[in-house]
Structure 1
């Protein structure tokens, strides 16, 4: 039995409501919007919007490229650049890539191509469809990296909240089905993810998702940890609920038992929403952890 099995409904909903730890969620959502708009303005001429990877309306991503990337794409003698892909959160039902490129300037400053990946939201897509779509998006990035000056052997991935769950689902991919003999990613960062979906089935979060317990089991990374994958960095803001801390701790330990290299970055004073903003700061422990994966 896990802690959530002993929680009444009100407590369970509070534990899986990240905004319960802050005063006003819109303060942070507006920061995502404003900082992403600033990034696009700053990097005008250095990004390509709405690159399609599938038939769905939101099967697309935005690519932000250092000047060196354009040269590498056109000249095979120039070394390709590392690629970092970010998967946004929003409990699989809110936000998009458009509010998720605020960290692009920092990656470009370090000669790393940055990609903000989009996917269809619930209720327009089921959780199974969202996971499949995100996986196809990552496969597209890997297979087409050289076309935009990227190095297919140096691709890292990160995601926050629902994006953390989707990162873990990508890592659980049966890569052989896509022509790879092992995990092709170099590293991953999962921030404040949900890795066991069972506790949210009976909460407000599931209203648009409409998951059954069987769905939750099959879609929980905790229940299908890969035998082999890239190194994973985990983090949760200090000011988050006990369940978000437990979810990461449990999944990280399960990965360690499988022999997967993991590490944890403590983020004192941060909450579920401001923690991800640290990826746009060159001296942030989170960004340094990603950069270490890229340069290792």
Structure 2
């Protein structure tokens, strides 16, 4: 793993959204934003977070250090660190630390799947993995090793600034190679008109995932492109929003 995996990370904050009245501990949704691992911020998702909070889900939007200054393992560790903070503190905000669901869109979906499947990021912090379930929304990066081998990018270009020039790191950060029997349950959503690399990567991932979960919760929205897969969460009556809400509330039942 590249240098910095166990090193210091920049201080990051998170935003918490909760209902005004909480009668009992509520399920928690921790969302990791997309942006090709090099852009995006938690502030962009406040409207969506408020909508989930109105559905009695304590919602946490996190930030993580971005490329090119930081590499992929540091992003994974930062995400794990945020999840650990949530587990230790969310009860103070009305959330149930036993019902933490991690979610992400695009690059955030990659990070959510990576820390859900690989405990190493939590191990590096000396804590247990608190993730009870996972929601992946048009996730990228399920198999970056295959992606880079196919692309044959020149060293230092594009996503290689995030994933380094090392094939070992590519494989280390590709969730498809680390599937196992004790993974948290997953809701996997994909747009039928999203980016070709996401369609290919998701279908490859689902094929391997079925070896552990023969009937995966996999939903394809045939008419949706990449960005609209997340934009639909703004509209509370929408199918995607309802799927995520129902899944989060089913955790632990």
Asked if TM exceeds 0.5, the reply is yes
Residue 144 in structure 1 maps to residue 98 in structure 2: no
TM-score with structure 2 length normalisation?
0.83
Structure 1 unaligned spans of 5+: 1-53, 70-77
Verify: 1:205 aligned to 2:151, yes or no. no
Question: Cα gap change, 1:55/1:81 in structure 2, threshold over 3 Å: closer, same or farther?
Answer: farther
Describe the shift of the 1:261–1:163 C-alpha distance in structure 2 as closer, same or farther (beyond 3 A): farther
- Equivalent positions of 1:69-88 (< 5 A) are 69=22, 78-88=23-33
Aligned pairs for 1:1-296 within 5 A: 56-69=9-22, 78-174=23-119, 177=123, 180=128, 184-193=130-139, 194-198=141-145, 199-200=147-148, 202-203=152-153, 204-209=157-162, 210-259=164-213, 262-296=216-250
Aligned pairs, number: 233
Does the CA contact (< 8 Å) of 2:84 and 2:130 recur in 1? no
**8 Å Cα contact 2:18-2:50 kept in structure 1:** no
| Alpha carbons of structure 1 residues 290 and 104: separation in structure 2 relative to 1, 3 Å | same
Alignment check: 8 A CA contact 2:195 2:225 kept:
no
| CA RMSD between the two structures | 2.3
Radius of gyration: which is bigger? 1
Unaligned stretches of 5+ in structure 2? 1-6
Query: Is the contact between residue 10 and residue 65 of structure 2 (CA under 8 Å) also seen in structure 1?
Result: yes
* CA displacement at 1:269 relative to structure 2: 2.1
Q: CA 1:262/1:185 → structure 2, altered by over 3 Å: closer, same or farther?
A: farther
Show the counterpart of 2:3.
none
How many angstroms apart in 1 are the aligned matches of 2:202 and 2:25?
33
Q: How far apart, CA to CA, are the structure 1 residues paired with 2:76 and 2:215?
A: 23
Alpha-carbon distance in 1 for matches of 2:43, 2:107: 16
- How far the C-alpha of 1:110 sits from its partner, in A, is 0.6
